[in-house]
Amino acid sequence: MFGTCSNYITLRLLGEEPNDEDSPLAKWRAWILSHGGATLVPQWGKIWLSILGVYDWSGNNPIFPELWLAPKFLPFHPGKFWCLTRMVYLPMAYLYGKKFVGPITPTILALREEIYGTCYVKIDWSKARNACAKEDLLCPRTDMQNAVWTSLYRCVEPVLSSWPVNKLRDRALYNLMEHIHYEDENTQYVCICALNKALNMFCCWVENPNSNAFKHHLARIPDFLWLSEDGMKAQVYDGCQSWETAFIIQAFCATDLVNEYIPTIQRAYEFMKHSQLLRNHPGDQSYWHRHRSKGSWTLSSADNGWAVSDTTGEALKAVLLLSNIASNHIGDPIERERLHDAADCLLSYLVGHLGCMFYRWGLLFD
């Protein structure tokens, strides 16, 4: 349901019309209606449709922006979420708090009537909040969970949205935009993945359509696009260049093919040197919910900014293998201190900062 509704709406926004009964759009619409209509899209779909104006915000379970202001020791603080989850729900919480709806165009009004089995103004949004198509339902919620979500929406959300408590929401929204800008600036507007990039870009537009942040976002959209024989496609991530280059280097070294592909190895080595992160992200790492990054490699390139432990391990192995090759073949070797930084970063994931300290002491006495 999520994929079908998303693609149907996208093509409609691009100007396609479902006039012919045999057209793909007509078939998709028939599938959507025969499977219960767009009220059954899962939560992420409900968010996107609400932003567009083809789904009412009251049909969403709350994503409280105020959670980001909660004490960090609480187990449900968003700062404890897995990074991808956190960076997706961060802009979603902002948009939910704003209850933002885009321009209501004739196409949007038409979509409201096309993707639901009943008239748009008669949809029971309270029932739609917990509804999900069986094709999209990976883990059904219990009646208790649905009761909790309903209570949060009916009892907590009205309080947080009313004066003077809504001053707290305003503060939370400001805090969220701080974190969004921090993510954007420290990933050169690539962001951790395509989904949170699109959401962050949209939040920047909502904040100020003419802002430099929004313009910087537009400039990095091509990082996710590539043209194939059957059309343009988008990647979930901005690539896996560092990850794959590390394995390619290891493969050349393991098969004694280095001398046959010296120019390739040279370019690969230069890329690995340029893609290593040479600094930690600025500011208080705990405030921004980040870990150290100095010495690490990302999955893609240095612009991405998100350190990945397994990429760092494989990249470190690759550059160590190349250090055994004469510099006149592959260029200047990577600095020893940068190898130490990579090892420090890996140890910080395994045994914490104390382990890193012991490791560096060992190097001093080596």
Per-residue pLDDT reduced to its tens digit, 248-262: 999 999 998 888 899
* C-alpha–C-alpha distance, residues 330 and 251, integer Å: 16
Q: What is the pLDDT of residue 235?
A: 86
Is position 223 annotated as part of the catalytic site?
no
Q: Say whether pLDDT at 175 is over 90.
A: yes
Q: How confident is the model at residue 140 (pLDDT cuts 50, 70, 90)?
A: confident
Summary mean pLDDT of the chain: 91
Of 281, 276, 283, the C-alpha closest to 339 is 276
Task: Please give the Cα distance from 195 to 301 (Å, whole number).
Answer: 18
Q: Angle at which helices 241-254 and 309-322 pack, to 10 degrees?
A: 40
Give mean pLDDT, residues 180-186.
Answer: 96
Q: Please determine, for residue 361, whether its predicted confidence score (pLDDT) is greater than 70.
A: no
Given 124, 238, 310, 344, the catalytic residue: 310
- What is the reported pLDDT for 360? 44
Question: Residue 347 is which amino acid?
Answer: L
With residue 234 as reference, give the H or E element that holds it. Answer: strand 231-234
pLDDT reported for residue 326? 72
At residue 366 the predicted structure's pLDDT band, cuts being 50, 70 and 90, is very low
Of 197-201, 327-331, 340-344, 349-353, the one with minimum mean pLDDT is: 349-353
What pLDDT score was predicted for residue 99? 95
Q: Which two tokens stand for residue 153?
A: 């929406």
57: nearest Cα among 92, 90, 96? 96
Query: Helices (DSSP H) in the chain: which residue ranges?
Result: 2-13, 24-34, 43-52, 83-98, 106-114, 125-128, 143-151, 157-161, 166-186, 194-207, 212-219, 241-254, 262-275, 309-322, 327-330, 336-364
pLDDT at 29 over 90: yes
Note the pLDDT tens digit of each residue in 70-85.
998 888 899 999 999 9
